[in-house]
Amino acid sequence: MTSLLQTVLAFVFALGVLVTFHEYGHYWVAKRLGVKILRFSVGFGRPLLRWRSGKDRTEFAIAAIPLGGYVKMLDEREGDVEPEDSHRAFNRQPVAVRAAIVSAGPLANFALAILVYWLSYLGGVTGPKPIIGTVAPDGPSAQAGLQPGDEVRRVNDHPVALWDNVLNHAIDAILDGEILYLAVKHPSHGERQVALDFSRFSIDDLSRGEFFDKAGFTPLRAHLPARVGRLIAGEAAAEAGLEVDDLLMAVDGKPIEDWVFWVETVRAHPGMPLSVEVERAGQRLTLELTPRAAEEGGQRVGRIGAEVARPEGADTVPMATERYGPFESLARALGRTVDVTRTTLKFLGQMLSGRASAENLSGPLSIAQYAGESARLGPSRFLEFLGLVSVSLAVLNLLPVPMLDGGHLIFYLIESIARRPVPEAVQVYGQQLGLFLLLGLMGLALYNDLMRIF
């Protein structure tokens, strides 16, 4: 229950921030260009809270359904307008003004992404160093010359400190079907360069969590005994009766080698009961435990809400922290926003061309799960999640589909070329078509969510 509440709160907070920034972009530019604002709403449906402010007595509202928002501007097409206010109606504005107001929403989401990435780099992101653990014989990595113990120092001449950095570059290489050049350093053999050919990979391999299997190597892992160090109240482990300091001995009759083996077993059994033999205070007992199903990277995995005990002197994975000063953090935040935008566009292109499966499309349920998981991993991971979704929202809204901001911009472009507005009937037909496409897209995304969960 605690985990579910955290997921819901993280999702509502994330969506509230994303929608507020987007709609405030429209609002801020419209106000400064002289358009009268009637209502600014975060959410749809019945208002839970509302008030009026400013000389125009603009109504601000927080509504019951937090799946979007809107800015209602004075418009002669939507109601009567007093003669003295007609010059402030949206439909009376020059095409450049209307285009600026419409494009301001997606631009605000790009600005939000830059802000959260800046905060993330400024605060520091901690994670495992990119060190190779095992290399599968005759796999692509072995053929390229990767060896256990190699630490990845640069990818395509870009310095990397964490596995996240390596995977971000790998995504681009997979989408482009390119070779990834890794500069690696081994404690015994010094630094050298290896080349991994990603032309045989697809983005579906990554979304299914098969990247390391396909690449033929695994990251370095800690070899820790499967002893419980901490339990999260209300999660599956605590509910099943596990206690701190329990030593996990066997699962469904199979000996548990170490904590990594246990984690992999739990992840592979979402929603499926496990018979777990534990040692507690010198006695053996058997517990029945069912991992909670969760979404991770487009994959359904098991979670139980337990952490490993880390005895002093235990074998651990070397960690690193990626942190920069204010100005370098800003430069990196700008670069990261550009990279995520480019990757998002490439991914959409592959989906439209059929090279990437539509199963990768995520809806509100998956986004809620990502929000909860990232919030549990800490502020820096939650900021990364916000940045990614903010860029995705900006790109989605700029697509040339009627009903979206990009569709309106296409109409304005046609108007500026033809020197007259697009006929009302054409706009109405376009809006209907756009609504049909969006509903279909939302239905597919929701279907994918349900298939992953159930």
Tokens of 431: 């809006």
Q: Are 179 and 197 in contact (CB under 8 A)?
A: yes
Q: Are 7 and 295 in contact (CB under 8 A)?
A: no
Backbone angles phi, psi at 309, to 5 degrees: -80, 135
Q: Are 318 and 128 in contact (CB under 8 A)?
A: yes
Q: Are 125 and 93 in contact (CB under 8 A)?
A: no
Residue 46 belongs to what H/E stretch?
Answer: strand 37-53
The one-letter amino acid at 324: Y
Q: Are 75 and 89 in contact (CB under 8 A)?
A: yes
Q: Are 292 and 236 in contact (CB under 8 A)?
A: yes
Cα(69)–Cα(193) distance, rounded to whole angstroms?
50
Active site residues: 23
Tokens of 408: 């309106």
Provide the greatest CA pair distance for the chain: 87
- For residue 45, what is the DSSP state? E
Cα(450)–Cα(317) distance, rounded to whole angstroms?
36
Q: Which residues pair with 52 in a beta bridge?
A: 59
Parallel/antiparallel/unpaired status of strands 132-135 and 151-155: unpaired
How far does Cα 52 stand from its chain's mean position?
35
Backbone angles phi, psi at 251, to 5 degrees: -135, 120
Number of H helices, E strands in the chain: 13, 18
Q: Are 95 and 417 in contact (CB under 8 A)?
A: no
Cα(416)–Cα(270) distance, rounded to whole angstroms?
55
